[in-house]
Structure 1
Amino acid sequence: MRKLLAALLVFIVIGSTALASQTIQPASLKLDKMERFEQVRDINEVIAEQDQLCKRAIAQYENEDYTPLAEPVHYSILWLGYTDVYYGDLRFQMTDFDKEYLTAVTLNFEKSVERITDHNLDISIDLRFISDTRALTKDDYGQWLYLAKDTVRTDIDKYLSSKGYDTVLTTVQTDGWENYQRNVNIPGYDVHYVILGLETAGITDDIGYSTFLLGEPIEGTYPLQDPEIPSLYATAIAVHEWMHQLEPLGTLLGIEYPNTHAYVGEKEFPGYSAFEADKNNYDFFEFYELVLQGKLPYNDHGTIKHVGVYPEMWPLVKHNALSLGDYAIVNAKGEYLAPLLAWTNLTLSREMHLWHLKDANDNRVIFESCDYPEYRIDLENAWDAEGNNVNIQVDTGYIEAQSWFVTLNQDDSSCIRTAYGSGRALSIDTIGGEATIRFTYGEPRDSQKWYFFRAKQ
């Protein structure tokens, strides 16, 4: 095996895993302690373990098999209630009653979803109230206001650092007599409204995120009578926005999966029947329940298929369920595969950079930057052509353009190949140079060879 990575590991213990003999300080990663690395000779062995999760889920879907999980999936939600938010001169606050109501909503969410999913989910919710003032953001396409994930990222990270959560929900309150009195004479009131609910990050993102308006309870529904019955309207909104986070299951598994708005029916979502809002003010919970049980009928040209979340899909919705770990990816010269964020380019660097690898099913891998987790390696314009550029982009939804095969070479290096039929390999010639895809023509060139070193936990 050729000598590698003077810049990464000047020390390598030769073996099947080639563990580093001492710790290294990654140059571009902000860590509290130094990391150790192990060489992964064939990344496909790691991928195969994660792929089994997808295969079991697909098998249940294809066979319409509802066998429950042997053990429930433990699913942890960080729920942040913001008691003081503003937009311009408009200021909205939660009252003590609002806090009590939101507490009931979280209980209603937890118990009703556990029941609906036949207890394949074991949900725990940590509700935290944030009294620090936070700004609302106006939607680019209209007059709606919402609490943006970037605005509260510091709050989220503070809690994520102490406990591993699977998703984040946030709630604000703009309704109520006190908010009306405070804002009625301020310009913009009755013009800018907080959106009922919005999901901006799902299960394939660094952390799921949904935000919604608490509103006021409908008469006769509060106090909460039975936590397992989703009788609070705010519970329906929260479940709706959370369900949006699950929609990438369809792309991940390559299956039919319903949009959370498919209750409007055939006109907008072919194959789906329309649902009416429930008479008991539960919004469209009849529809939600069928989706969360994998039992929503979908008419596929006359054949009825039941779609939604099957039991074996629940392990896939956990945060980092398909994580393969964090890796330094280097060439034979010890140069690192790295992003150049200013131009969203992919290049080589002398400075270490780590990539978070995710299983994309069917032996494919998504490469996300650890320093810039919203960016991933992307084939420009999804164009599988000789010499086309490879860049970094946000999640575009084009899974073929943003997932890659990794193949092992005879000399124990690897190629990173497109998910398309050509199998062209990622190629970078020089530090600062452009990344392209090119045929290997037999033995790959050095510019197409990569070595994977995984950061140990």
Structure 2
Amino acid sequence: MAQKIKGTLISIIILCLITISFPIQGIQAATTQDDYYAELSKIAKQVENEDHTPLASKVTWKFKWLVFTDVTFNQENATPEHRTLDKNDQLYAKVVADDFKKSLEAANPNILVDIDLEIYTTPIQVTTSNNDFILHESQIADVLEAKVPYGAYDSIFALSDSLGGGGVTKATYYSDITRGAAYSGVGLSKLYVNNYPAHSTDRKIEYSTDIALHEFCHQMQMAGLIDSYPDVHGSTTYGYTNDPKNGWMQFYLDYLTGNVKDPTSGKLIGVYPEMWRLTPRYLQEITPEIRGATWIFKPAGAANQLIDGLDKMYISIDYKNAYNSPWFDIYFQAGTEKIDPTKIKTDNTDILQVLNFDGGVARTKITGAGETKLHFETKDASSTYTKTVVVYDEKGAMEAVNTLFESNDTTKSIKNETNQQTIDAAQKLVDFLPASLATKPQQAIDKAQKELDAKKVAKPVFPVVKADNKTILIKGAPNAEITLTLADKTKVTKTANTAGEATFPVSNLKAGDTITAIQTVAGVTSEAATTIVQASALTAPTIDKYVVGDNYVTGQAPANAKKVSLYKDGKIVRNAVVNEDGTYSIWGKDALTAAGQTFEVYSIDAAGTIGNKATAAVQAKTTDITSKPTVDGYVLGSSYITGTVGANTKKIALYTNDQLIRYGAVNEDGTYKIWGKDALTKAGQTFEIRPVDAKGIEGQKAIATVKYATTVTIDDYYLKTAYVTGTASEGTKRIALIINNEIVRYGAVAADGTYKVYASDFLLTANQSFQVVPYDDSNFAGAAKESIVKTKTVPTKLGAPTIDNYKLGTSYVTGTTVTGTKRVALYTNDALVRYAAVAEDGTYKIWGKDALTAVSQAFEIHPYDANSLEGIAATSTVK
């Protein structure tokens, strides 16, 4: 609901009507969703660091300013007020627009303000509350639809005659009314001017510009990109005073550049440079379906926190919310209805457990320390909102760090029993701490690690040891004493050379044996290095000749091989068991599809140890087929695919998604037809026709695409009609309007197959030709349909209707009409109030109570036929 908020400017009262809601427009692709969160992350970092670095490139904000020169405000409990703007007022509106542009661009050097100012001279009437002379979006919806293309602007300002004040509506709140832009109604005021209609000589900005900046601050605030903004109505809270000549300009410009100082935190707050990048037009492109995730009920009375822009969320393991409960709650401002509650999950329930999802709130419970991800998937599985959650244990981390040191005091040296394992355990806990808590414990761990490194000797290093090794070369420190311990506990000690190497003769090693080694330097002995003896490598298998299209790769495996493994492009394809006679056969047809392709076969022993590989290449088949087939155009829903083949083709094969569907015969004249209706089910789907010779070898394939046979009709279009209308065949997703061989606009196709495309701004003359072209969901165009702009032959006018006596306060105006009347319109004060349908018996009733409010007020009933041609009007007065 809208609510009225009053802010005082010294002796002037500005009435600011604010409509607050969450955006309803959702987008779409995963790439734009990533852009959305990346932009929020940039903004969060810039605000956190109070970084006012200007944008690297210019960003354009597009404004539409509509100046209404003739408005009648029909007040609820007061007489109508007729307000007009003369030629000087219109000149002054341009001065205010220029003032607004210069103010914003001067404060933000990389912002370009593009204002499309239009003077709207057609008289309008609006219904309003008493003394509210600001134009609200619902009052001028028809004008906005006619004058503002959807998505073309970031902000709309509607100006009318008023002493001051304004109102604001968030972008996309009324996406059809405000055309996807933010909206503000602003009063064009003559207060404090001394050089009218030119710019005042004693002010930096006009009073009306001050109002416009105030409303624009509200528009920027409603983007909701950060947790909190300065209070637009609380300038004095931040130490600002009203300038008699320039109002609150300095506060608004500081607001719009992120330079308002918060008296509580001392930080600079407001609209930072990166926030300007997210214009309403850009936000509509990148905004994901699920967004506005907020951490609510934070402990200790802390404010709710937007988390979309956070890389990670940090929560204490002993977390309690504002109500001293262990529940960690996330609320979604938009997309709640699209979330599938059954698919909300965490990667690790030992860290975070999902309890329920109700009323847009996901309730979870902390179960342990660590890092996990929390996933919210949409019901149609088209996208997933994911947030990383880190549960930290500050107390446990500090205890683990302290126990590394003597007397648990980090200022002392580490204990004798402190080793790498205890340091690593402490480091793991500290890694989970947020940066604000991690500094001191990390410094202590770094100190412990440095002391341990100074005391310890590194482990010696083993090579790969196999069962048939006769020696083992171990590397350690120069001149170190290296001791090797074999599986049977035999120990051998040698002194390393100056390169740190020692060679140990060995025999009778067995696969699976564990052997260890330590080294001693200056009386300090290292921890033990360990390795496991591996089986001796098997020799490579042999590979028989493999030709494209063969089912199996075959060959001979070496002795002791139990399996073979087929590899392609360095990745395993599959394994196969070796036969008792040492031969093998492994399926390769699906992976080895092209002549010249290389592949490998490895032998594997009983322990699973991979031996040496053999490499081969796929051999080409030769075919007698001389050319690839042709494919006639295939339209979705057709029974057969047809075409012709080259010489020596004996049959053809239909493939889709690299899978054989069926074979088809070739006729004596070289033509073919093959059933495809069951396999080719979607426009845009690709398929292949492969020729096959008498030896079963495939020739060069032909690739084709399924097309949609979309058709379209066009209803008669008459000059000055708003829309081109008609019907489209099944499968048509949108319609293109083409004038002079150029697409000027698209229109959607409704569920019932009808369409309408706005055209009155392009089709301006009788007999002007135009086309409409249907497109399916794969963007394939159907046959164009052409028509011309017609003019209606004016038939005999309908006779005037009758009007029953209408008394003040009666709900409906009633009466009868002549034959052929399809609807009637109520007019008063030369303005259309509304339409109403005519009943089958020729009677009508049309709501008039809200428009006919005074005795003797004149009004008219206008009749219209089926072609919307107006007949003779009847006139009456309120009794």
Q: Are 2:101 and 1:129 aligned?
A: no
- 2:106 corresponds, among 115, 120, 127, to 115
Distance (Å, rounded) in 2 between the aligned partners of 1:247 and 1:437: 24
- 2:289 corresponds, among 332, 343, 357, to 357
Cα 1:220–1:170 change in 2 (3 A) is: same
Aligned to 2:256: 292
Write the letter of the residue equivalent to 1:75.
W
Deviation at 1:287, TM superposition (A): 0.7
Q: Are 2:231 and 1:259 aligned?
A: yes
Deviation at 1:209, TM superposition (A): 0.6
Q: Deviations over 1:76-96 (max 9, x none)?
A: 000000011112332111100
- 2:134 corresponds, among 146, 149, 157, to 146
Give the secondary structure class of the aligned counterpart of 1:50.
helix
Q: Deviations over 1:79-123 (max 9, x none)?
A: 000011112332111100000000111111111111012x23101
Q: Is the 8 A contact 1:405 1:416 kept in 2?
A: no
Q: Is the 8 A contact 1:323 1:358 kept in 2?
A: no
Distance (Å, rounded) in 2 between the aligned partners of 1:67 and 1:57: 11
Q: Are 2:216 and 1:247 aligned?
A: no
Distance (Å, rounded) in 1 between the aligned partners of 2:360 and 2:104: 46
Aligned to 2:64: 78
Q: Is the 8 A contact 1:134 1:151 kept in 2?
A: no
- 1:66 corresponds, among 43, 52, 60, to 52
Q: Is the 8 A contact 1:86 1:136 kept in 2?
A: yes
Task: Name whichever of 283-292 and 399-408 sits farther off.
Answer: 399-408
Distance (Å, rounded) in 1 between the aligned partners of 2:35 and 2:150: 28
Cα 1:423–1:114 change in 2 (3 A) is: farther
Q: Is the 8 A contact 2:83 2:161 kept in 1?
A: yes
Deviation at 1:315, TM superposition (A): 1.3
Aligned to 1:201: 170
Cα 1:108–1:125 change in 2 (3 A) is: same
Write the letter of the residue equivalent to 2:222.
P
Q: Is the 8 A contact 2:133 2:162 kept in 1?
A: no
Q: Are 2:215 and 1:224 aligned?
A: no
- 2:35 corresponds, among 46, 49, 61, to 49
Deviation at 1:63, TM superposition (A): 0.2
Higher strand share: 2
Write the letter of the residue equivalent to 2:85.
M
Cα 1:422–1:120 change in 2 (3 A) is: farther
Task: Name whichever of 94-103 and 126-135 sits farther off.
Answer: 126-135
Cα 1:456–1:132 change in 2 (3 A) is: farther
Deviation at 1:261, TM superposition (A): 0.8
Q: TM-score, normalised by structure 1?
A: 0.56
- 2:332 corresponds, among 400, 416, 430, to 400
Q: Is the 8 A contact 1:246 1:317 kept in 2?
A: no
Q: Deviations over 1:107-147 (max 9, x none)?
A: 11111111012x231010001111122234434xx643321
Q: 1:427-438, aligned counterparts within 5 Å?
A: none
Distance (Å, rounded) in 1 between the aligned partners of 2:279 and 2:344: 27
Give the secondary structure class of the aligned counterpart of 1:357.
coil
Deviation at 1:358, TM superposition (A): 6.8
Deviation at 1:159, TM superposition (A): 3.2
Give the secondary structure class of the aligned counterpart of 1:154.
helix
Deviation at 1:47, TM superposition (A): 1.9
Aligned to 2:207: 233
Aligned to 1:312: 274
Deviation at 1:456, TM superposition (A): 9.1
Q: Is the 8 A contact 2:151 2:281 kept in 1?
A: no
Deviation at 1:61, TM superposition (A): 0.4
Aligned to 1:19: none
Distance (Å, rounded) in 2 between the aligned partners of 1:240 and 1:322: 24
Q: Is the 8 A contact 2:225 2:275 kept in 1?
A: no
Give the secondary structure class of the aligned counterpart of 1:151.
helix
Q: Deviations over 1:148-198 (max 9, x none)?
A: 1012122222333277111100100146xxxxxxxxxxxxxxxxxxx6211
What is the RMSD computed on CA atoms of the aligned residues? 4.1
Task: Name whichever of 399-408 and 204-213 sits farther off.
Answer: 399-408
**Unmatched 5+ residue regions in structure 1?**
1-37, 176-194, 266-271, 326-355, 365-397, 427-434, 440-446
Deviation at 1:451, TM superposition (A): 3.9
Distance (Å, rounded) in 2 between the aligned partners of 1:292 and 1:456: 44
Write the letter of the residue equivalent to 1:200.
T
Cα 1:103–1:69 change in 2 (3 A) is: same
Q: Is the 8 A contact 2:338 2:379 kept in 1?
A: no
Distance (Å, rounded) in 2 between the aligned partners of 1:159 and 1:456: 32
Deviation at 1:421, TM superposition (A): 8.4
Q: Deviations over 1:254-282 (max 9, x none)?
A: 2x3112111132xxxxxx33x221132x2
Q: Deviations over 1:7-42 (max 9, x none)?
A: xxxxxxxxxxxxxxxxxxxxxxxxxxxxxxx9x8xx
Q: Deviations over 1:197-235 (max 9, x none)?
A: 111334776321101111115243552279xx8421111
Give the secondary structure class of the aligned counterpart of 2:332.
helix
Give the secondary structure class of the aligned counterpart of 2:100.
helix
Distance (Å, rounded) in 2 between the aligned partners of 1:296 and 1:83: 37
Cα 1:425–1:98 change in 2 (3 A) is: same
Distance (Å, rounded) in 2 between the aligned partners of 1:67 and 1:91: 49
Write the letter of the residue equivalent to 1:125.
I
Choose 1 or 2 for highest CA Rg.
2
Cα 1:456–1:196 change in 2 (3 A) is: farther
Distance (Å, rounded) in 1 between the aligned partners of 2:778 and 2:215: 35
Distance (Å, rounded) in 2 between the aligned partners of 1:456 and 1:291: 47
Q: Deviations over 1:230-259 (max 9, x none)?
A: 42111111111111111124x4322x3112
Higher helix share: 1
Q: Is the 8 A contact 2:339 2:379 kept in 1?
A: no
Distance (Å, rounded) in 1 between the aligned partners of 2:267 and 2:38: 23
Aligned to 2:389: none
- 1:90 corresponds, among 81, 98, 103, to 81
Q: 1:336-347, aligned counterparts within 5 Å?
A: none
Cα 1:452–1:157 change in 2 (3 A) is: farther
Q: Is the 8 A contact 1:64 1:306 kept in 2?
A: yes
Aligned to 2:844: none
Cα 1:137–1:283 change in 2 (3 A) is: farther
Give the secondary structure class of the aligned counterpart of 2:167.
strand
Deviation at 1:404, TM superposition (A): 4.3
Cα 1:299–1:363 change in 2 (3 A) is: closer
Q: 1:269-284, aligned counterparts within 5 Å?
A: 272-273=238-239, 275-280=240-245, 282-284=246-248
Q: Is the 8 A contact 1:167 1:319 kept in 2?
A: no
Q: Is the 8 A contact 2:158 2:184 kept in 1?
A: yes
Write the letter of the residue equivalent to 2:382.
F
Q: Is the 8 A contact 1:322 1:358 kept in 2?
A: no
Aligned to 1:387: none
Q: Is the 8 A contact 1:290 1:308 kept in 2?
A: yes
Cα 1:415–1:106 change in 2 (3 A) is: farther
- 1:101 corresponds, among 81, 92, 98, to 92
Write the letter of the residue equivalent to 1:47.
Q
